[in-house]
Chains A and B, each alone.
Chain A
Amino acid sequence: MLLHHAFEQTARRVPDKLALVAGAQRLTYSELHHQVRALAHVLREDGVLPGDRVMLVLENTPEFAAAVHAVLAAGAVAVPISPQTKKDKLAFIASDTRATAMLTHAQLAANWAPALQGAPALRSCRVAGRLTGADARERPWPGADARAPEFEAARIDQDLAALIYTSGTTGVPKGAMLTHLNMVSAWASVQAYLGLREDDVIGLALPPVFSYGLYNLLMGLGLGATVMLERTAAFPIRLAEALARERVTVLPGVPTLFSALLDLPNFSRFDLGALRLLTNAAAALPESHVQRIRAAWPLARLYSMYGLTECKRASYLPPEELDRRPGSVGRGIPNQEHWLVNEQGQRLPHGSAGELVVRGSHVMRGYWERPEETHERLRPGPIAGENVLYTGDLFRSDADGFLYFVARKDDIIKTRGEKVAPREVENAIYQLDGVTGCAVVGVPDESLGQAVKAYVTLRPGSGLSERDIIKHCLTRLESHMAPKAVAVVDELPRTESGKIRHASLR
């Protein structure tokens, strides 16, 4: 069973059912399937071979939904990338993956056009919308085509389905290699406790380029549910209206999304009574949020979950445990073994604190062409030839083994559920003339989990303000990486050897 098979079977089983709602656009399963087939066909024509990497620089749109299934149908590997990604990082990922095709939107050309220039391996760039005409490899997005031949690429479940880029401590992003088996396994485990249904309407306001949003899309379309793709999270009123209008039953969220909705004036005027399932991941929900969510939707089940790109999901808290174990991200997902280890790598009993280690068929195959980083995270497991995942996340467990997140083991900041490498932000800040020293750390923040904060030292008379530094970062980094605050200081704390001591700034 490959990752995209569920969608293909569903499209044949319920062709006339509504698959996607995106603004005024409504697509049935057969309409979406025709788009998938047309796109898979042109990818083949463009010279994309099984095993090739294809970059998806796409918004939360029907084009993304079609693209991910088309890439898999063509036997290629999907590389989902945030549409906020700026040109330098896009160029880096293009060269790191040696992708042979890119799928994107016309309005993002300011970022992908320069990246295309420096990526000779890219054979084609399929653009939804108007072509810029600047590069001969730009090609139009194909229309839906019911006659496009269906083909079965010779792939097995050990082959890669996706490379999902995540921040690395060195400041260089690395691609987590996920096989079809990894992703189908994670899907099955999540479905075993979440129980999504064919009659669900999933309100997806999260970006599908990250694992949390991606699985909601894949699972919804694999099951025959309807997925509402919403890009209105910046306008909470519009989101609430859409949730009410489409009678959304499942809302995957993060703390900032839930608080934006609950903070709306007269929130109760929106009829959101159809919601039966709310999930939270990426950052722990503060206690106060939990109470407000339950008051707003007394009949809905609220799942608090924890995961990481490298294995998709590791734990969930059953709703009935919420009162008994506030702050817990729960117990291990079905078909997974996990444990905590101390600094010496020894397995710890329940009630201890240590690094979480995860074992299961959802654990990634490593980081793309990064053997050193791979060996840090994947180490030999109990059975010969098997690897287990050292998450780098420190947890404590209670007497029953329920997990409570404590901190990252390394410098990585977790903000809005996304990992940010301080080094990547520092590198951007150091590009500013006048910056003489810089240290980026995560500081506690109620709804973001952690907020990115930069401490900088400046050359006298540089004239740089806090705002200048934030602005500079916003033009070079995805917005979640830009510091929320900057403190200009006279000096940074250093070790005897002169290295900046990040720990004393947190």
Chain B
Amino acid sequence: MQDIKVEVRRYIEDNFIMGASGVTLADGDSFLEHQVLDSTGFLELIGHLEEAYRIKVLDDEMVPENLDSLQNVAAFVVRKRAA
């Protein structure tokens, strides 16, 4: 789970934050609230998760509880891979 968090954090930082904006994200911080991801950004994140972890994110799973923080994403990916 820790590995997933580290990897997803790197992905988010590389793709959506980089050095320029100076946002530092805590594990529980909402991507939406911090203006890190918007609707397009979430679709990109989903694409990345599907590819990197070989999971399929169903429409009904596209909810903040699964996707809107590093913590939530990591827990979601762990659950999906166990299923």
Contacts and interface: CB of A to CB of B under 8 A. Distances in A.
User: Could you tell me the dominant secondary structure of chain B's interface residues?
Assistant: loop
Given A110-B23, A475-B20, A234 B63 contact: no
Interface stretch (B1-9, B37-45, B72-80): B37-45
Interface in B7-61: 14-18, 20-24, 29, 32-35, 37-42, 59-60
Interface stretch (A82-90, A151-159, A294-302, A376-384): A82-90
A238 B64 contact: yes
Nearest to B41: A479
Contact of A235 (B21, B29, B63): B63
A84 B38 contact: yes
A471 B62 contact: no
B27 to A, nearest CB: 15
A265 interface: yes
B15 A471 contact: yes
A472 B18 CA distance: 8
A29 B18 CA distance: 42
A59 B37 CA distance: 14
B18 A475 contact: yes
A107 B23 CA distance: 9
A426 B64 CA distance: 34
Contacts of B34: 107-108, 110
B59 A264 contact: yes
Nearest to A84: B35
Contact of A237 (B40, B41, B59): B59
A374 interface: no
Contacts of A59: 33
Nearest to A241: B63
Nearest to A470: B15
Interface string A86-112: 110000000000000000010110110
A298 B34 CA distance: 38
Given A110-B23, A238-B63, A479 B14 contact: no
B64 A87 contact: no
B35 A108 contact: yes
The listed residue with most A CB atoms (<10 A of its CB), out of B22, B32, B35, is: B35
A117 B1 CA distance: 39
A111 B62 contact: no
Given A238-B63, A264-B59, A475-B17, A110 B22 contact: yes
B59 A234 contact: no
A474 interface: yes
Interface in A198-256: 231-238, 256
Interface of B: 14-18, 20-24, 29, 32-35, 37-42, 59-60, 62-64, 67
28 contacts: A84-B38, A86-B20, A105-B33, A107-B34, A110-B22, A231-B32, A233-B39, A234-B32, A234-B37, A234-B39, A234-B42, A235-B42, A236-B62, A237-B59, A237-B62, A237-B63, A238-B63, A265-B59, A265-B60, A474-B15, A474-B16, A475-B16, A475-B17, A475-B18, A475-B20, A476-B20, A479-B38, A479-B41
Instruction: Please list the 8 inter-chain residue pairs (A to B) with the smallest Cβ-Cβ separation, ordered nearest first.
Output: A234-B39, A475-B20, A110-B23, A110-B22, A475-B18, A265-B59, A479-B38, A107-B34
Given A107-B29, A235-B62, A237-B63, 17 more contacts: A86-B20, A105-B33, A108-B35, A110-B34, A111-B21, A114-B22, A235-B42, A235-B64, A256-B39, A471-B14, A471-B15, A471-B18, A474-B16, A475-B18, A475-B21, A476-B20, A479-B38
